[in-house]
Amino acid sequence: MTAEQGPEPAPQVDEQPARSSAAGDPAAAVPTGTDSDPVEPAAPPTIWEQMGGPMGMVDSGLPVVVFIVANVIGGLGWGIGAALTAAVLIAVARVARKRPVTQAIAGVFGVGIAAYIAYRTDSAKGYFLLGIWSYLLYGGALLLSILVRWPLIGVIWEGVNGRGKGWRDDRALVRRYDWATVVWVFVFAARYLVQRYLYDTDQVGWLAAVRLLMGYPVFILAIIISVWIVAGAGAISLPDRLTRRRKTG
């Protein structure tokens, strides 16, 4: 090669193998930029989230507390008015927090019926009568579902997970659902018996306290026991907030 000819042209690289390899490997064809990253589907809400979390506990217990305090201070009329006002304000707050409207309506409706019974019976303890009889109804329905071999915990569990009716062919699984349903029979039976006794003995203050104590705390405990019976201890996990605190502690 002479000086007049100049430098030799650089050899051309065959890009065809690179294209073919990218076509054969789907992972290689996906851009790595953040704009093209696959979006993971949103996780379904947990039972704790469906119950409303800490605010759900406040929402369910506040009308009872307000009713008792107002009843002691100003009498039954003030107690009924305060409970209804609290229920309406809680409903508005739920809507503002973008909670399901059905929860807000159900809360006002339940407090309204309880207040009406208290007004008709002219007694503060009448406010709790609807809840007491509902415990008996729920417990009876759960017990009946076990006797007819359609345990309600299984129906609810499999319905939420969309698995249809195939679970009933698994006798061992049906038996676990039976025992999980028994847990809830005991829960509602205990609620009915204890609160009915306090109602009959006119212990309104204790009736309100027990109503709160046997509400969410017992409900959460029953859920944990039911999950342990059906799915085993491995299916029970702490909320993320508690897990983070344990790691940082």
The string of pLDDT tens digits covering residues 154-206 is 998 888 777 778 888 899 999 999 999 999 999 999 999 999 999 999 999 99
Q: How confident is the model at residue 13 (pLDDT cuts 50, 70, 90)?
A: very low
Average pLDDT, stretch 128-140?
A: 95
Average pLDDT, stretch 106-127?
A: 92
Residues 160 and 179 in one domain: yes
In this structure, what token pair is assigned to residue 90? 């809680």
177 within 8 A of 152, measured Cβ to Cβ: no
CA distance 108 to 116: 12
CA distance 239 to 221: 14
Q: How confident is the model at residue 243 (pLDDT cuts 50, 70, 90)?
A: very low
Query: Does residue 104 form part of some domain?
Result: yes
Residue with tokens 């679970």: 167
Average pLDDT, stretch 35-45?
A: 53
Residues 142 and 116 in one domain: no
Domain residue limits at 79: 52-122
Residues 161 and 226 in one domain: yes
Residues 89 and 145 in one domain: no
Give the CA dihedral 136, 220, 157, 42, nearest 10 degrees.
Answer: 140
Q: How confident is the model at residue 38 (pLDDT cuts 50, 70, 90)?
A: low
Q: How many domains in the chain? A: 2
CA distance 142 to 136: 10
Query: Does residue 92 form part of some domain?
Result: yes
Query: Does residue 25 form part of some domain?
Result: no
CA distance 128 to 196: 9
* Better-scored residue on pLDDT, 224 or 45: 224
Cα dist from 160 to 47, 175, 179, 209, 216, whole Å:
11, 19, 19, 33, 21
* Better-scored residue on pLDDT, 96 or 46: 96
In this structure, what token pair is assigned to residue 123? 């007694």
What's the half-sphere exposure (Cβ side, CA atoms, 13 Å) at 3? 0
Query: Does residue 141 form part of some domain?
Result: yes
Query: Does residue 3 form part of some domain?
Result: no
Decide if pLDDT at 53 tops 90.
no
Query: Does residue 11 form part of some domain?
Result: no
Q: Which of 79, 100, 122 is the last residue of a domain?
A: 122
Q: How confident is the model at residue 233 (pLDDT cuts 50, 70, 90)?
A: low
Q: Which of 107, 122, 137 is the last residue of a domain?
A: 122
Residues 136 and 218 in one domain: yes
Total-model pTM: 0.69
Q: Which of 105, 122, 139 is the last residue of a domain?
A: 122
